[in-house]
Structure 1
Amino acid sequence: MTDTAPHEPTVADREPIAIGLADQIVVISGGSRGLGAAISRAFLDQGARVAIGYHRSRDAADTLAAEYPGRGFAVPLDVTASDQVRQSVDVAAEHFGEPVTTVVNNALVDFAFDGDARPKAPELDPARLASQFTGSVYGPLGLIQAAIPGMAGRGFGRIVNIGSNLVQHPVVPYHDYTAAKAALLALTRTFAHDLGPSGITVNMVSGGLLRTTDASAATPEAVFDAIADGTPLGRVTTPTELADAVLFFASPWARAVTGQNLIVDGGLVKG
């Protein structure tokens, strides 16, 4: 008989930890208005404790938090200010008494979906690109990095980045916005590989034009109608419908899903 050394547990041997939505501590950038408010409310309705990140909309964040006493918490979170991005995770963890389990990178920096006003290719300048990269890449990077230690310590983390179907289908070439979202998609996939061994999943939900948010308020009604006509469902997606997909990626039902980009636009764009 030969002696065999005891089998050392590996990552593959470990049963993944699944923390239900009601037990999650969530930080949402841009969480007080529009799509962000819909995402905040979706988590809060499931019993989660949510740090509602805001930049200029403190009143909206406070009002939303007040609807969920003890579980909603307004947190200053300007994604262009790296110190504030990192501090928001510590503030949320201290307030709720537990590490942050879930991060949703939703904030959009100074952008309106107005095709007539967008810069054309000859007019695009580095400053516009830098602005969108600061909000849609560097801000999420800082927020994720701030949350990693707490997530890794628990062996559980859920990161959901908000993207755009314009990356797959740039029917309106919003060059700066789309380039930044494409970079965020790349980080979503590479971070999924890097963080998976720590029990952290990283996914993206990409919407089309939503009816209606502050960013899409400048969109002509004819554009909404054209989009609706081009979808199998015959209508434009709402912020609440996109928020449902964010919940899925944070839920135990998505425990084996990472590095994915789910397009939620009524079937307008495939793949």
Structure 2
Amino acid sequence: MTDTAPQSTSSEPGAGPIPLAEQVVVVSGGARGLGAAVSRAFLDHGARVAIGYHRSRDAAEALAAEYPGRGFAVPLDVTDADRVGAGVEATAEQFGEPVSTVVNNALVDFVFDGDARPKAHELTRARLDAQLTGSVHGPLALIRAASPGMAGRGFGRVINIGTNLVQNPVVPYHDYTAAKAALLALTRTLAHDLGPDGITVNMVSGGLLRTTDASAATPEAVFDSIAASTPLGRVTTPAELADAVLFFASPWARAITGQNLIVDGGLVKG
């Protein structure tokens, strides 16, 4: 993928697509695991990136330091809408222009450990609310904070991180999967609402990734089983999923919105 934008036509609304190298990106949970892979992918393509963190300041600052002038560690607690807004404002001030692209990646207090998950009779409203706060209210806060600046320039890219468990709940992580299903619905409704402003809203849904902090508790036998069930014969990596995020942010996805792309090596269809 290059940073050369396809030529726009006069019939397109807004300012036309912006190359990756000219984008200002905010990645929530951008300092570790999948988020770090996404942040690094954008940075490697020349973008300016706010690496959002909550408890991982040292990791965020270390990653930002690898890309002087383009990496920016910013506190971003997605459970607090006011702090999310402050993070977006700080990013615009740091880079001298509004945020063009947001990646809603942050995962609030969740570990992929099937043995420890709450069963149906153990699932509480508090646990469900915690995932809804992180995976629905948090992304909405970030979109609300960034979308006025996007609309002002007639260009915006929103990429939400989902899960293939919505389509194939082989491990019933009830709270996590329900929240991601709600985020998928929000992805589609916001795509309709924000489209006239030149803003696209899409989702990239992975399976279990090899390996992130959240998946570190997963037994090796589970990874092997997934690999054996996948047409590509292996488990998807964070870097591979980050490639799909870049695609949705790139000019090559200029006519795509409201979509959910499953990136899991072909394990789940549709």
Instruction: Find the counterpart in structure 2 of residue 116 from structure 1.
Output: 115
Aligned ranges 1:44-59 → 2 under 5 Å: 44-59=43-58
Give 1:205's aligned residue.
204
Q: CA deviation at 1:16?
A: 5.8
Kept in 1: contact 2:27–2:39 (CA 8 A): yes
Counterpart of 1:160 in structure 2 is 159
Distance 2:170 2:71 in 1: 38
Q: Which digits, 9 at most, give the CA deviation of each residue in 1:184-238, with x for residues without a partner?
A: 0000000000000000000000000000000000000000000000000000000
CA distance change for structure 1 residues 153 and 16 in 2, over 3 Å: closer, same or farther? closer
Partner Cα separation in structure 1 for residue 192 and residue 11 of structure 2: 14
Residue 39, structure 1, aligned to residue 38, structure 2: yes
Structure 2 unaligned runs (5+)?
1-9
4+ residue segments displaced more than 2 Å: 11-16
How much has 1:119 moved relative to structure 2?
0.3
Deviation string 1:108-153 (CA, Å, 9 cap, x unpaired) is 0000000000000011010000000000000000000001110000
Partner of 2:243: 244
What residue identity is the alignment partner of 2:261?
L
Partner residue in 1 for 2:262:
263
Aligned to 1:220: 219
Structure 1: segments with no counterpart, 5+ residues: 1-10
Cα drift, residue 81 of structure 1: 1.4
**Is the 1:16–1:255 Cα contact (8 Å) retained in structure 2?**
no
Cα displacement string for residues 14-71 of structure 1 (whole angstroms, at most 9, x for unaligned residues): 4761100000000000000000000000000000000000000000000000000000
Q: For the residues of structure 2 that align with 1:126 and 1:61, how far apart are their CA atoms?
A: 32
State TM-score, norm by structure 1.
0.95
Aligned length: 261
Shift in Å, 1:168: 0.3
Corresponding position of 2:66: 67
Q: Is the 8 A contact 2:13 2:198 kept in 1?
A: no
TM-score w.r.t. structure 2 length?
A: 0.95
Residue aligning to 1:6: none
1:94 aligns with 2:93: yes
- The answer as to whether partners of 1:89 and 1:100 remain within 8 angstroms in 2 is yes
Q: CA RMSD in A?
A: 1.0
- The equivalent of 2:103 in structure 1 is 104
Aligned to 2:3: none
Structure of higher CA gyration radius: 1
Please report how far the alpha carbon of residue 86 of structure 1 lies from its aligned counterpart in structure 2 after TM superposition: 1.2
% same residue: 81
Residues 13 and 165 (structure 1), Cα distance of their counterparts in 2 relative to 1, 3 Å cut: closer
Residues 7-46 of structure 1: pairs in structure 2 closer than 5 A: 14=13, 17-46=16-45
1:75 is paired with a residue whose SS is strand
